[in-house]
Amino acid sequence: MFGYYRVASAVNKTVVGNPKKNAEEILTLIKDAHTEEVSIIVFPELTLTGYTASDLLLNQILIANQNDSLKYILKNIKDINTITILGIAVFETDRMYNCAVVIQNGKMLGVVPKSYLPNKKEFYEKRHFTTGRDITRTTLDLLDEEVPFGVDLLFTDKKEMTFGVEICEDLWAVTPPSNHMASNGANLLFNLSASNELIGKHEYREELVRTQSGRCMAAYVYSSAGVGESTTDTVFGGHAIISEYGSTLAQNERFRMDSHFITADVDLERLRWLRVNESSYGDGRRKKTRVLKVDTLPQMSKIERDINPMPFVPSRYADKKHRCDEIVNIQVHGLIKRMSHAQIKKAIIGISGGLDSTLALLSTHKAFKMMGWDVQDIIAVTMPGFGTTTRTKTNATKLCVALGVTLKSVDITAISLKEFEAIEHDKDEHSVTYENVQARARTSILMNMANKEGGLVIGTGDLSEIALGWSTYNGDHMSMYALNSGIPKTLIQYVIEYYKSNKKIADIIDDILDTPISPELLPHEGDEIVQETENIVGPYELHDFFLYHFIKYGAKPSKILHLATISFDTKYDEETINKWLKLFLRRFFTQQFKRSCMPDGPKVGTISLSPRADWKMASDVDFEGWLSELDK
């Protein structure tokens, strides 16, 4: 479903040395996973015998019983298309190998041997096993069947999913096999493990899984042996982890006494396109691999995963200070470099009492304080016009006074009326021309004042407005340094709240955050804002959601719509989301000409629309293909 696959990590209750009892537990979990529409489920290392069977792994009876139990499982999953990955010991060419067997619909698809055998302290695997790291392009005879065997095996459904398997120590090695699997197209990685518990080891283990998923740009599913393994010298807690591209999606409670599994829905389509969009993945060295086709997988009826409605905003409140410090530092140091290099001592900024100009002013003020520059060299200009309300102008004035910057006020009403007269425009015709004349008048004043003062005009437009082209060409579209150009609207609100730690301006910021977003270009009655931007172009929280998924990994409009309906299910219905998504697509494509000549500005997050680096697009691209995909 839209590139999502449900995967599971299982920890079965183990009876060491009794494959038959273990098989019963395993079979129950497989059937439950199939009922829950799981595509692939992985179990711990040496699942059927128990990892701590030790020297009995070299005993004929245990291996025979293991093979009989594997045969029993295969017989009972003939109608189960959930893929299962089990740990088994394989006796081949008079050597014993620690392996993973991949099974589906009662068939063995392939067997992957372990490459790295730990042989230190509590681990002594070389006592029992031979490394399989050089085994490629071969088969083995298992249960009277010829089965593909080797570390070169990958498995695919010929759609979005290609997976590979490694075993325990392989992940801890200097060069994990999963690196090569990922370079050869595996976007889903599984690890069967038997990692014992030591103080703090589970934290490092989770970090290892999470960071490997990030390095490989893949999803990583890890299962470790649990309670029931021998406690002669070590204790196993049964750690199950599912990570995706550097983030842990699910993790179990260790030391559980029952058999259980955890699930997560991983977005493999996203991972494939992220590799193209955001990395040097294509330069990775490819090896010869055998890619085996799997049968049709269970179909998910519903994506059961939290889809973040605010992808640009940190989900954890605890991250707020750290993230905001990063954003502000990027802005501040970008501005310091530009002003220092140009040998400019003054900053000119239009201040409206809105979100964008507030953040630009606050960050400019912080830059001046950091450098020990006189904050009175920040010239903040209010430019009231036909639509300016007392509330916004008052907030702008209060903020400037509290910060100690130089405040100037230039009324643009008379200038605009002169412009109307010059171009023969009826002042009572409140069209786009009426609005744009005012916007360009404001920019002209700022540019001319910068010339007079020897200053730098600070742009206030944000990333969301740039995406939508919600600016007047050569009006607020233009500046000498676009300080907010890398920050979307939802994140700007978040960062402004961060500045509330300054008690002198906390109340002012609260009111600014509570003020409807508006360009204030149309006349008002009763001193109330009559032109609310989000009533015209739609909610910015939706547009930021659309922007993230569209740019981050080139998501199809139909997928963006589906994810948005999940994420905003209690706030917007599908019809409403669909309407604003179509508007987003139209405006994004038709307004590229503004982005093609936008001023310099600092990149803050992974998404930027700078035409010099991050987003290159012709200004006259036809967008019908994107709209028609949405209507299919």
Does residue 404 come out as left (phi exceeding 0), alpha (psi in the -120 to 50 range) or beta?
left
Burial code (b: 16+ CB inside 10 Å, e: under 16) for 537-548 equals: bbbbbbbbbbbb
Catalytic residue (one of 13, 25, 99, 168):
168
d(CA 365, CA 482): 15
Mapping DSSP to helix (H, G, I), strand (E, B) and coil, where does residue 2 land? coil
Answer yes or no: 400 catalytic: no
Answer yes or no: 168 catalytic: yes
Contacts with 310 (C-beta within 8 Å, 6 or more apart), sequence order = 490, 541, 544, 545
d(CA 365, CA 358): 11
Beta bridge partners of residue 42, listed in sequence order: 9, 85
The string of DSSP letters for 52-67 reads: GGGGGGG-HHHHHHHH
Task: Find, among 219, 191, 185, 188, the residue nearest to 287 by Cα.
Answer: 185
What tokens does 92 get?
Answer: 């081949």
Answer yes or no: 114 catalytic: yes
Catalytic residue (one of 24, 25, 37, 45):
45
Name the pairing type of β-strands 145-149 and 83-92.
Answer: unpaired
Name the pairing type of β-strands 290-293 and 240-244.
Answer: unpaired
Mapping DSSP to helix (H, G, I), strand (E, B) and coil, where does residue 371 land? helix
Q: Greatest CA span in the chain, whole angstroms?
A: 100
Spatial contact of 238 and 225, defined as CB atoms under 8 Å apart: yes
The string of DSSP letters for 340-360 reads: HHHT--EEEEE--SSHHHHHH
d(CA 165, CA 220): 10
In the block, tokens 């079965």 appear at: 12
Contacts with 398 (C-beta within 8 Å, 6 or more apart), sequence order = 508
Task: Find, among 403, 393, 401, 314, the residue nearest to 367 by Cα.
Answer: 403
**Sheet-wide strand order for 260-267:** 138-142, 145-149, 107-113, 95-104, 83-92, 40-42, 4-11, 260-267
Q: What are phi and psi of 223, to 5 degrees?
A: -135, 130
What tokens does 110 get?
Answer: 């392939």
Which amino acid, one-letter code, is at 453? E
What tokens does 417 get?
Answer: 């009326």
d(CA 65, CA 57): 11
Which helix (H) or strand (E) element contains residue 539? Answer: none
Active site residues: 45, 114, 168
